Amino acid sequence: MTLALAKVAPPPDDGMAAQETGSPETDGAARVSSARPFIEFEKVTVRFGKGDKQVQALSETSLAIAEGDFVALVGPSGCGKSTLLKLVGDLLKPSTGHVFVGGRELGATPIRIGMAYQNPTLLPWMNIRDNVMLPLKIVPPFRSEFSAKRKTEFRDRVEALLAQVGLAGFGDKFPWQLSGGMMQRANLCRALIHEPDLLLLDEPFGALDQFTREELWQIMQDLWMSKKTTVLLVTHDLREAGFLANRICVMSARPGRILDDSPVAFARPRGIDMTYEAEFVALNQRLRSLIVAARGGTGIVQAGGH
């Protein structure tokens, strides 16, 4: 089934761009696949609680993600998507199995990680520039240079990144002076300012209206195409997953496991119009039916039991 999707032809209106951006991407993928995967889950399970109250959040999962890839995790609520993300971010230890990032077991990894949640969690006492700069104050090697460069080089970096997401000139504003979409852009900047090797996104656009969301998808795509950071995106929105990701993993209802793993071969840069074309809609419908089936399996039984 994965092969069938890989063959999906690029949409006609983006045909030219597809050939230009398509080939270096496949080269990159080929180069990385020969080495060890960037992120590797080896028979990982996660259980919460003890004794009778124990809940299995993640059943045995193995997954490999290549460096520079953009992977979306979709699935019914409470299926362990965020658990998977927290494992990669070293916020949670697996109950059994191993998670390797950058070829080393978690905890021993020197890689830099950026993270953004649906809640922008910008610090209200700092302006946007200082908020975005916060990781530079904490993450080495920037940390040691922070006091020397905060008013020069780092400031310019923050301004450049803000300009890239359309927030040029907003550095002096405070979070409460910004709209939800703008705060989320600043949140993305904060997750990217320290040039992370890995970006973890947990429904970052979930609380935004549709038009703002689509705008941010495009900004996210531009950011990814310019930085080639490995991205792991958790989302409920199948259009979002299809628009942004190179690869979509569908998870089952709790205890989560990966039901389906499909590449998304649409050429980049992708436009919003693409999401209304036949191939895209077909992909969406296939993913949707998988998730509906996954929900139905346990969801209905649980509903009857209560």
Q: Which residues bind other proteins (CB under 8 A)?
A: 86, 89-91, 113-117, 119, 121, 123-125, 134-135, 137-139, 174, 176, 190-191, 194, 200
Q: How far apart, in Å, are the Cα atoms of 76 and each of 47, 93, 115, 255?
A: 18, 23, 22, 11
The least CB distance from residue 42 to other proteins, in Å, is 21
Closest approach of Cβ 223 to other proteins, in Å? 17
Nearer to other proteins, 24 or 107 (CB): 107
Q: In whole angstroms, how close is the CB of 143 to other proteins at the nearest point?
A: 9
Q: Minimum distance from CB of 229 to other proteins (Å)?
A: 14
Residue 205 in tokens: 């656009």
Minimum Å distance from CB 89 to other proteins? 5
One-character DSSP codes across the chain: -HHHHHTPPPPGGGHHHHHHHHHHHHHHHHHHHHS--SEEEEEEEEEESSGGG-EEEEEEEEEEE-TT-EEEEE-STTSSHHHHHHHHTTSS--SEEEEEETTEETTS----EEEEESS----TTS-HHHHHHHHHHHSTTHHHHHHHHTTTHHHHHHHHHHHHTT-TT-TTS-GGGS-HHHHHHHHHHHHHTT--SEEEEESTTTTS-HHHHHHHHHHHHHHHHHH--EEEEE-S-HHHHHHH-SEEEEEPSSSB-EEEEEE----SS--GGGGGSHHHHHHHHHHHHHHHHHHHHHHHHHHHH-
Give the span between the Cα atoms of 252 and 289, in whole angstroms.
12
List beta partners, residue 73: 234, 249
Residue 115: CB minimum distance to other proteins, A = 5
Query: Minimum distance from CB of 282 to other proteins (Å)?
Result: 35
Of the pair 117, 205, the CB lying nearest other proteins is at 117
CB nearer to other proteins: give 48 or 211: 48
Cα–Cα distance between 197 and 143 in angstroms, integer?
A: 17
Q: Which is nearer to other proteins, 12 or 110 (CB)?
A: 110
Smaller CB distance to other proteins: residue 191 or 233?
A: 191
Q: Please identify, using beta-carbon distances, which residue of 227 and 286 lies nearer to other proteins.
A: 227
The residue (of 85 and 219) whose beta carbon lies closer to other proteins is 85
- For residue 57, the minimal CB distance to other proteins (Å) is 16
Which lies closer to other proteins via its Cβ, residue 157 or residue 190? 190
